[in-house]
Amino acid sequence: GRVAAVVPAAGSGVRLGAGLPKAFVELHGRTMLERAVAGLLTSGAVDDVVAVVPADRVAQAESELAHLRDDDHLVVVTTGGAERTDSVRNGLAALTAHRRRPRAAVYDVLLVHDAARCLTPPDAIRRVVTAVRGGAVAVVPVLPVVDTVKQVDADGYVVGTPDRAALRAVQTPQGFAPDVLLAAYDAAGDVTTDDAGLVERTGDRVATVPGDPLAFKITTADDHARALAELDPGAP
């Protein structure tokens, strides 16, 4: 069976503040979207990709991703929605509706991978796919949490201190058995930034695999500077 990835890339990038949608910001001449999709395909673990972009960026995405498409690899571009949840939902719909892949049943594994995590190494992608193929219905790549984390109330007063040893920071790609992800999105009424969180609510178990520091999400200008430095360590 095949592996498909939905790449939500339809956010506006308010926190980065680059003046254009974040996934279309370039890192050394290549957009974050193009890097994210190329990273999935060149990992060798992903067959098909759906990129979900703002409505006025569809043509640009089509042209930037065209070189990644071939007889074995479907690369589809579709339009996102107001919230990440809407964008992922649109991506899943495009995947299941596509004329060359009429049913999600042709896939063994579905991934959801943020364009904003475009430096994710191939091993991290492969670990997720391997875990789903091994029988886990939902898999998230995680890192230990380095800071102590406090839970606070609406006024900012501390109400609890979870044991740090039991906490993990969650990355993407997250991986799923297709029926489990599609059912979770069917059941989801509200908004989330965490796909696996929807699966938790349907009662299915979510497994973890080791993530990678390079799978960090580019959110702020500092993150953007870090990404440039990771790609070109000799630069000032």
The residues binding ligand CTP (CB under 6 A) are 8-16, 22-23, 52, 80-84, 87, 114-116, 217, 219
The residue (of 45 and 53) whose beta carbon lies closer to ligand CTP is 53
Nearest approach, Cβ of residue 105 and ligand CTP (Å): 25
The residue (of 11 and 141) whose beta carbon lies closer to Mg ion is 11
**Which residues sit opposite 78 in a β-bridge?**
52
What residues make contact with Mg ion under the rule CB under 5 A?
11
The residue (of 6 and 182) whose beta carbon lies closer to Mg ion is 6
Give the residue nearest to Mg ion (CB): 11
91 binds, among Mg ion, ligand CTP, none (CB under 5 to 8 A by kind): none
The residue (of 7 and 182) whose beta carbon lies closer to ligand CTP is 7
Nearest approach, Cβ of residue 222 and ligand CTP (Å): 13
